[in-house]
Amino acid sequence: MKGKKEVVTGSNLGISMVESYSMFFRHYDFETLLKFENKFNLIPKMHIYMVVKVPKVIFVSDSIKIHKGNIEFALQVMDGRDENKVQFKLPYNLEYKGLNLSLSPNKDDLEIKDSLGRIIQKANAFIFLISSGYVIDCEVVYIGRSFGKTGEKTVYSRLKSHSTLQKVYAEKEDDKSIFLSSWDFDRNTISFISPLEVDYQKNYDIFMKQLEMKENPYELISKKQEINFTEAALIRYFQPKYNDIMKYRFPSKTHKEYSDLFKEDVDYVSVEIDTRRLNVRLYSEGIPADFEHNPFYGLKDKRSKYDFFRII
């Protein structure tokens, strides 16, 4: 159309959050982890957590024995297949005499004690199995965060009291187990400027903004906002069963923390997760099991932000 200048746009400034560390644990381990974290001032601080449901893994009672310097046992994955057993043979320190092997009532924990009753080692069936290289699919049923004002709170302090977690346990199937996973994310700020951009002043402004973000990343977008963006993206992606409110509609745009995010001049947010090293594949009711999950949400206009935060 004559008299109207066409501007080809392609410049973006976004936040790409990359998972850098994660771990799986049970709900009754959080107090030990919190004490450990506080005592040693551990970095990274874990601010995102997932509640996952996995097939129950147990020690086969009649398979456990000590034989020729080895501890032998089998693990059964309760997924409906009788043949789904994995055999293990582990050498033990011959200095220990009179070893006693005992199972927990649920058969998912094995304790090894010496002749004086001292615990030498404890093993959880699920953790042991994935540590050995066996891959298990984990259903993401809830995603949450804990940060505080300056990052002083972590997932371990949040899990001291958690009503949704109690509900997940109450509704758990007999052949399933519930585990928690804590996650640390680093920002990988990615930006590019299209060489086709006609508005050179705009290109310059974008470049300077990117440079400022590189030099002062946490002044423009705080760590707390990063965590909020990450939680929002993960919930929108996995649509976990127990995130009843936030997966359909985020709190009102008048909600302080999310209204701050809504105002940020960010073109997109993406999250990268790769769980190969953990030997687990994450999935949910709408997302198939996989090692890699890379949700991406464009936020270039108000409508896309409304959709992202489910504001209506």
The residue type found at 250 is F
Q: Which residues contact 76 (CB under 8 A, 6 or more apart)?
A: 57, 58, 59, 60, 84, 85
Output the DSSP codes for 186-228. Answer: EE--EEE--TT-S-HHHHHHHHHHHHHHHHSHHHHS-HHHHHH
State the pLDDT at residue 12: 54
- 312 residues of the chain, pLDDT tens digit each: 333 333 334 445 677 899 988 888 887 776 777 666 666 666 567 889 999 999 999 999 999 988 877 889 999 998 776 668 899 988 876 566 778 888 999 999 999 888 788 888 888 999 999 999 999 999 999 999 888 787 777 777 777 667 888 889 899 998 999 999 989 898 875 554 455 555 556 656 656 665 555 555 445 577 888 888 898 889 989 999 998 765 555 444 445 555 555 556 677 888 999 999 999 999 999 999 999 999 988 877 666 666 666 544
* Bridge partners for 89 per DSSP: 72
Query: Tens digits of per-residue pLDDT, 200-235?
Result: 566 566 566 655 555 554 455 778 888 888 988 899
